[in-house]
């Protein structure tokens, strides 16, 4: 498997439908632009349709032949998730790629419309529910893929207390984000195991961008945003480079279900995308199964696998 993989290695995507959450900015936007340029029919699932239109216009400016449509999806609302999924099932009965990318990071304490802590509810439960509600559209396509975006932060203060999933006892924004990103991996590995057991050709993979320039820092304390901006030429890689692990997981013919892609450089912070290791906790099968069960109970969404 090549360790020098770049955007030029993305195969022809003509005839494929790619649905990307959070596609109006950051990694999602970069991923959408590349897939559209390779001929995919790209569905940009966004919370704010005005921002989505602006992003779509930018892609069309550089790639006039791009086939792009918008889908309103607010992952912090299960009602919105269900409405978006219903639209997908009606308009896109066959989906080749689902890239679960949207998310929030280090926000002050708040809850979703359904009362879940915002990181856990948006980053994990929203994507869990959305995937489960549209997965039949993916199962219709041989070799379809579900790529969920995690983070290096999945190792940071990420012990999961099932007795306090909403962090009501003591809120820690770093722990809340880390736990949500660990949940993304638990979901991916459990989903892949279930797909294999059901004899399905759809695969579940995960990816992370390393340290990349995105808008996720918008909720950071002001002093931290200033420090990151000052150090960005040294610490961060550009957003288009951060999107490469997502793109490789989604399109590399050699990629396999259950793999986790990230930058191959020191500490997985930057570099060309390769298969990387995730934490021991993320591979705990009992934890994976428990998170799956709790996620089904909280969202009311049961998968057909």
- φ/ψ bin of 144: left (φ > 0), alpha (ψ from -120 to 50), beta (otherwise): beta
CA–CA gap between residue 150 and residue 148 (Å, rounded) = 6
Bridge partners (DSSP) of residue 45 are: 21, 71
**Which residues lie below 8 Å from residue 7, measured CB to CB, with a gap of 6+?**
34, 240, 244, 247
Q: In angstroms, what CA-CA distances link 268 with 67, 140, 192, 202, 225?
A: 33, 34, 23, 27, 22
Half-sphere exposure of 238 (CA within 13 A, CB side): 5
CA Rg value for the chain: 18
Pair of tokens at residue 69: 């449509």
Q: In angstroms, what CA-CA distances link 232 with 124, 216, 239?
A: 28, 14, 12
| Catalytic residue chosen out of the listed positions 29, 177, 260, 261 | 177
What 3-state DSSP class applies to 39? coil
Run of H or E including 207 = strand 203-207
Check if the beta carbon of residue 105 is closer than 8 Å to that of residue 152.
Answer: no
Closest C-alpha among 266, 291, 1 to residue 148: 291
The reply to whether 29 belongs to the active site is: no
Sole residue written with tokens 């191959």: 264
- Residues belonging to the active site: 177
């Amino acid at each position: 498997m090549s360790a020098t993989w770049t955007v030029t290695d993305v195969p022809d995507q003509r005839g494929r439908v790619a649905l990307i959450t959070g596609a109006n900015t950051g990694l999602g936007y970069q991923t959408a632009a590349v897939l559209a340029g390779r001929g995919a029919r790209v569905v940009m699932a966004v919370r704010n349709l005005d921002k989505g239109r602006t992003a779509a216009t930018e892609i069309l400016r550089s790639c006039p032949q791009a086939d792009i449509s918008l889908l309103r999806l607010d992952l912090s609302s299960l009602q919105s998730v269900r409405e978006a999924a219903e639209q997908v099932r009606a308009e896109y009965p066959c989906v080749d790629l689902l890239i679960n990318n949207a998310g929030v990071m280090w926000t002050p304490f708040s809850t979703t419309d359904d009362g879940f802590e915002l990181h856990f509810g948006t980053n994990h439960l929203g994507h869990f529910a959305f995937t489960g509600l549209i997965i039949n559209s993916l199962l219709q396509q041989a070799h379809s893929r579900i790529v969920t975006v995690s983070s290096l932060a999945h190792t940071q203060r990420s012990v999961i207390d099932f007795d306090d999933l909403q962090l009501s006892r003591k809120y820690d924004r770093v722990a809340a984000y880390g736990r949500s990103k660990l949940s993304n991996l638990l979901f991916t590995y459990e989903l892949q195991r279930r797909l294999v057991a059901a004899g399905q050709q759809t695969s579940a993979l995960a990816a992370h961008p390393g340290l990349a320039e995105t808008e996720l820092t918008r909720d950071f304390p002001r002093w931290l945003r200033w420090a990151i901006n000052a150090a960005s030429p040294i610490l961060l890689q550009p957003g288009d480079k951060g999107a490469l692990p997502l793109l490789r997981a989604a399109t590399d013919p050699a990629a396999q279900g259950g793999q986790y892609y990230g930058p191959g450089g020191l500490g997985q912070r930057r570099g060309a995308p390769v298969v990387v290791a995730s934490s021991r906790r993320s591979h705990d099968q009992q934890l994976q199964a428990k998170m799956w069960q709790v996620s089904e109970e909280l969202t009311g969404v049961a998968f057909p696998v």
